[in-house]
Every structure is written in structure tokens, then in C-alpha cells.
Amino acid sequence: MRVAIGGSTGLIGTALSRHLVQAGHDVVRLVRGEVTASDQRRWDPDAGRIDPPGLDDVDAVVNLAGAPIAGGRWTKERKTEIRRSRITSTLTVVTSLAPDGRCQRLLNGSAIGYYGNTGLEIVDETMPAGRGFLAQVVADWEAAAGHSPVSTAVLRTGHVLAREGGYLAVQRPMFALGLGGRVGSGRQFLSWISLTDHVRAMAFLLEHDVTGPVNLVAPNPVSNAEFTRTFGGYLHRPTPLPLPLTAVGALFGREFVHEALLPGQRVRPARLLEAGFRFEHPLLSQAFAALG
């Protein structure tokens, strides 16, 4: 299989590229800058353009492009970029596909932020969109993917756990200093997935015709308090005090705290499980143990 990957230089895109190549597949990495390797192809999502031959020579596309949610303070401009980067990259991909072309499979990025704050309720892919900035961004992101003329799955991704990068990298500095702690009450649920299982799930979906939303989360979400204790134990650091939300709000903005940190999401990967996918790290302790 020949697979094009948008967002190929990010944490997940890099890991997916490596996994597919090791499995014997060909990868075309879509890059925004100068092409410096034979497996790269330049694209400009802002202009809606992919250099020839576009996506005509691939069998599938995985589009993971989008500005990081925690990449900076949530100014008006930053929020615009969070939304724009996801919509433009998605529309660039779907308008480059043809219903009768070689490429007949698209996996497009999404996020469990779609559900908003769900409290203690267990939610799956049948739930409607929630409220708030992130929920609206994800709903619009998925709507853009809905224009695809080929078989498409949208990847509602939870917090990805990796040794370098991802959700842990954002929190590691505070935890390493012994300042990490639960967020708010700590009772809100956190839905996570190991980087290994996220990559395995994408490879699985490339070979199985599951369409529509797919939750990419482990089957055992945990409370924020449990996650905090486990991460602190992994780093051999105490976690006695709550995270200083005032300081986080000063850095990222109060809206970021109320949209991205305090809400809880107890998400079940129903469609992956129904399709027969088996997790390598179904428990949080296993995910941390695998990090070494």
C-alpha cells in the first residue's frame, strides 16, 4: 500500500510513517517546506494545493495536520489558527480526491473534544457534539472531511501518551519540578491512548473499511486524580498539590483552562472494539510501563 500522510512531521505522523515503512508499505510525506527527501511531496494547505501528482499515485491518505491546541496562549489569532489549520488541510485533501481514482481511503484527524464536557457519563461515537470552542472546531473539522468522495473515517483522538511529545510533554516540566498535581477536583475523567496503540489503530483502519467517527482512546479512561498519581509515580515525583490553574491561565488564557483542562470525557472506543481491534496497552499502568 502507498500512503500519503499530512502532518507527517508531528509526533503521531512521524510514528505512523515509521510503522508503515517497517510493515513494508510506501509512504509519501506531505511537507510544507522545501522537499529534501525522495519520500516527500510539497503541499500548501493555505492555498489548497498539493504538488503533482497530488494524491493520484497513492492508495490511502492519513491527514493529521493542525496547529497544536496547547501551542500558545489562546488569543483570538491563535484560536483562528487552530480552526483554520484543520479546515484548510482537510479541504485540500478531500478536493484532491476523486471517486474513481486510485486513492479510495481517507483517515482524517479529529478529537474527543467533539463531545465537550461529558462529566461522568460514558460516551461513544453515537453521541452528538457538545458545546464550546473546541467542540465547534471539531464539528467543523469533521464536516470538512464529510466532503470526501471516498471511504472516510475521522479519528476522534484522546490524549496521546508518548515518551517524547504529546500530552505528557506539556505536563512533564511541572511534574519534574514536583509541581504537578490534579486539575481542579481531579474527579473529571481523562481518556487517553498510548502512541503505540494510536499508530496500530490507524494501520488497522487503513485495512478495514470502518467509516465515520472512530474514537481512538484506550478502553479504560481514568480520573484526572488517578492519572496524576500514575504520572507522578512514573517520574518519581510527589503530586500532593493541585495544579496551579491561575498560573496556567496566565500562560495560556482562562478559556484554555475551562475548555481544555477542567472538562471531563469518559470515552469508549466502541467502533474499534466492534471491528475487532485489540489494544496492546488497555490499562494506564501498561502504557506507562511501556514508556520505559
3-state secondary structure of 22: helix
pLDDT at 70: 82
Tell me the residue range of the domain where 195 lies. Answer: 2-291
pLDDT in tens, 19-44: 999 999 999 999 999 999 999 999 99
pLDDT (mean) for 71-85: 92
Total domain count for the chain? 1
pLDDT tens digits, 177-220: 887 889 888 999 999 999 999 999 999 999 999 999 999 999 99
Task: Report the percentage of the chain scoring pLDDT > 90.
Answer: 80
- In 3D space, the residue among 225, 254, 253 whose CA is nearest the CA of residue 240 turns out to be 225
pTM, entire model: 0.94
pLDDT tens digits along 124-162: 999 999 999 999 999 999 999 999 999 999 999 999 999
Backbone angles phi, psi at 110, to 5 degrees: -160, -170
User: Is the pLDDT confidence value at 284 over 90?
Assistant: yes
C-alpha cell belonging to residue 278: 485489540
For residue 237, the domain's CATH number is 3.40.50.720
| Residue 230 in grid coordinates | 500514575
pLDDT of res. 166: 87
> Cα–Cα distances in Å, from 17 out to 42, 51, 193, 236, 238?
16, 20, 18, 32, 36
